Structure 1
Amino acid sequence: MSFLGYLKTIKEKTGNGPAEFRTLAEQKAFTLDEKLKPEAKAGDIVNWLKEDFDLGQGYSMAIYALLKGIKDENSQ
């Protein structure tokens, strides 16, 4: 599945897109000024997304990649 495919499925499942997840991550203190804090680990993000949104590992890692800046909404 492409990265955009992951984001589309996440949006369908949760109702939240990249912008919403960036806001939610900031509210959870994982990010500051849309940048992932060094102390925020992938496992922390995965656990949060599993608990709050019932997202699996792959989908959670897609959001982690988005928050870390590895991928963005235009990535394939």
Structure 2
Amino acid sequence: MSFEAYLDNIVKKTGKTPMHMRDEAIQQGILTDDMKATVFTDWLKNEYQLGHGHAMAMWKYFIDHQWIITKHSKL
């Protein structure tokens, strides 16, 4: 499955775009400096009932869009 297919499936399953998820994460105080993937993916799994692969795809999407900054993405 391609990365785009993962994203399309997430939107189809949740009815939320990545931007909507970002807004909700900000409202709930989920996004923090140097956050760990586990904190974020656990939130996605609980909030949107995503599986691990889809949650990790969202982690990558958020990092790629610089919505999450980690010690590794600062390099």
In which range does the TM-score fall when normalised by the shorter chain?
0.7 to 0.9
Q: For each residue in 1:19-70, what CA deviation from the matched residue of structure 2 results, as whole angstroms up to 9, or x when unmatched?
A: 1111122123233xxxx621x2100111111111110100000111111126
The question of whether the paired residues in 2 share the 8 Å contact of 1:30 and 1:37 is answered with no
Give the whole-Å Cα distance in 2 for the aligned partners of 1:30 and 1:69: 17
- The letter for the 2-side match of 1:47 is D
Normalised to the residue count of structure 1, the TM-score between the two structures is 0.74
Quote the residue 1:37 is aligned against: 33
The question of whether the paired residues in 2 share the 8 Å contact of 1:21 and 1:63 is answered with no
- The letter for the 2-side match of 1:27 is Q
Normalised to the residue count of structure 2, the TM-score between the two structures is 0.75
CA RMSD between the two structures: 1.9
Q: Radius of gyration: which is bigger?
A: 2
SS at match of 2:16: coil
Aligned residues: 66
Give the unaligned 5+ runs of structure 1.
72-76
Quote the residue 2:73 is aligned against: none
Give the whole-Å Cα distance in 2 for the aligned partners of 1:21 and 1:37: 17
Give the unaligned 5+ runs of structure 2.
67-75
SS at match of 2:10: helix
